Amino acid sequence: MDYSGINSSDLWVTGQEPGGRIDTGVSLNLTYAAGSAPGNISVARLEFDEYVVEDQEFVYVPDASAMKFPPGIQGVIGLGPDISSDIVELDIEEGGSNPLRTHSVLSRIFSQNKTSQNFMSLLLTRTNDTEEDFEGEITISTLITGFENVTSMPRLPVVNASVLDARFQFAQHLTVATDPDPVVVNGHRIRSHSIVPHIDPGRMVATFDSGFTVPQIPREWADTIYGEIEGSFYLEVNNSWALPCNQSLNVTIGFGGHAYPIHPLDLNTKLLPPFDRDGVEYCFGLFQPIQPNALDALAGTADMILGMGFLRNVYALFDYGDFVDDSSNDRVEPYVQLLPITNLEEATIEFNNLRGVSAVPSAGYDGSDDNTTTGSDAITGIVAEPKSDKTTFIEGDLSDSTKKKVKKIARRTIYIIVGCVIAAVLLVGICICGCCYGMCGICRRDSSGRRRWGLKGQSMPSASSGGKYASVNNPKPWEQSY
């Protein structure tokens, strides 16, 4: 039983040596944000549900103790495009003798059925709060029953990394451009500026990764979402926002002309163990300002990493198109389709019921000239609605009150204490190539006979994502000392 993830492309196994394994003698160390998997590139027959792949290349890792897997996990199945595979890249550099086998598992499976489209779909569920297990499903070339409308959503073209810069040839991820100024917080739109070259003004570039529990977003977005909340404060110790657990937020992100609501539980996440101050329980903002090492590792190909905190709010279809070389029928440009599955009104009621909210102060801007929140817009059961039907813009410059919050961090011992508590559960995008720590992939069929992977895992803590930004080197929170 292996981890599976959409932004890593390599297969490696540990434990009992696979039967019939042929050792090529070529060594490769697959590095991740939390650990590494060193071994030799090997070749063996792969059997996966009803698929049989001859001569599949993988890395056999005799000692995977650095990955600190939970019991029963024996490797990683990467489901990303070939071009971001370390094995494929090394084979190209070494002049691999068998071009057929120099492909990722998913590409080999797609190549076996040239009458089907080369797509994968992903559906993640949400727990009642962070303490419980969650489930999800992955399908290959089929849709999950009840979510077929995803194909009617706009096709979001995957941004070709090599077009941005030839040096990014092997840094291809499932990356798309947003709408202009895509984020709206309680009716107020944030002015946005991308660091990615050749992107239209106002648009941002996002990469999707089921392996990141904690989405990494631009700092100005995080400050705008959380900074004006009464009682919130910024934690320099781990670069994240803390806020009262009863604060419900109204946030949407725009793609393809559609606004995708984010469930309040995905924006305001419980601390483990709980922490309270003056009788108020504190949580942390799950959408975290992008960490410098994550930004450096993206190397200018994207502005953010939208992980589980975003993906739980959509049913996602990833069409690999001509990323798959040996395919005759699906030669379109790769694209992503997103079906919104979060009803914000219902989500807010669910949040309030779980958090015991009876009266929530306004979370966000009150429309005043200095963009500060006064707390006078107290409401019952839902977040405050904008005061005007017309969306207003925030230029990204914070109000004086929020700036003071950021400047005063580390002056108060209690803030440092909360920071240590958050650091004990917060991972900067760490999930081993998979949907989360403890998430495993199991291929099965539904009642119609279609192949589906069932996923089951734990929402916190998480482990880290692979792929070309796997060099992000943050320690696991449970290994940190303070």
Q: Residue 322, by phi and psi: left (phi above 0), alpha (psi -120 to 50) or beta? A: alpha
- The order of strands in the sheet holding 188-190 is 258-262, 251-255, 183-185, 188-190, 392-394
How is residue 58 written in tokens?
Answer: 């993988």
Per-residue pLDDT of the chain (482 residues; tens, 9 = 90+): 455 555 577 888 998 888 889 998 888 888 765 678 889 989 899 886 677 888 888 999 998 888 877 777 788 887 776 666 777 667 666 665 544 455 777 777 877 776 668 888 999 987 666 445 556 788 888 899 999 999 999 999 988 755 545 444 444 568 899 999 999 999 999 999 999 888 899 999 999 988 678 899 999 999 999 998 999 999 888 789 999 999 999 999 999 999 999 999 999 988 777 788 888 999 999 999 998 877 776 778 899 999 999 999 999 999 987 555 555 455 678 899 999 999 999 999 999 999 977 434 333 333 333 332 222 222 222 232 333 334 455 555 445 555 444 434 333 323 333 333 333 333 322 232 333 333 334 333 443 444 444 444 433 333 333 333 332 333 322 222 22
How is residue 92 written in tokens?
Answer: 């190209």
Q: Which residue has the tokens 């002015």?
A: 191
Fold designation for 3-479: Cathepsin D, subunit A; domain 1 (2.40.70)
Residues 93-131: b if buried by 16+ CB within 10 A, e if exposed:
eeebeeeebbbbbbbbbbbeeeeebbbbbbbbebbebbe
> Three-state SS for 257?
coil
Type of residue found at 470: A
Q: How far apart are CA 316 and CA 208, in angstroms?
A: 10
| 235 phi/psi in degrees, rounded to 5 | -110, 105
pLDDT at position 105: 78
pLDDT at position 329: 56
164 membership: H or E segment, kind and range: helix 161-164
Nearest to 216 by CA among 410, 474, 5, 403: 474
Q: Which residue has the tokens 């290349």?
A: 57
161 membership: H or E segment, kind and range: helix 161-164
Type of residue found at 236: E
pLDDT at position 320: 83
N- to C-terminal Cα distance for the chain? 35
DSSP assignment of 467-479, as one string? STTTT--PPPGGG
Cα–Cα separations (whole angstroms), residue 174 to 121, 130, 389, 400: 13, 27, 35, 38
Residue 266 DSSP one-character state: G
How is residue 236 written in tokens?
Answer: 């320099």
274, burial (CB in 10 Å: exposed 0-12, middle 13-18, buried 19+) = exposed
> 46 and 53 in contact (C-beta within 8 Å)?
yes
pLDDT at position 475: 30
> 204 and 408 in contact (C-beta within 8 Å)?
no
pLDDT at position 326: 55
Spatial neighbors of 387 by CB under 8 A, at least 6 apart, are 187, 366, 367
Answer whether 0.85 is exceeded by the pTM: no
| 368 phi/psi in degrees, rounded to 5 | -75, 165
Q: How far apart are CA 225 and CA 192, in angstroms?
A: 13
pLDDT at position 172: 53
pLDDT at position 249: 94
Tell me how long the chain is. Answer: 482
User: Regarding beta strands 119-124 and 314-319, do their DSSP bridges make them parallel or antiparallel, or are they unpaired?
Assistant: antiparallel
> Three-state SS for 337?
strand
How is residue 225 written in tokens?
Answer: 């979402």
Quickly list H helices, 318-475.
Answer: 344-355, 400-407, 413-423
| 343 phi/psi in degrees, rounded to 5 | -90, 115
Question: Which residues partner with 135 through β-bridges?
Answer: 456
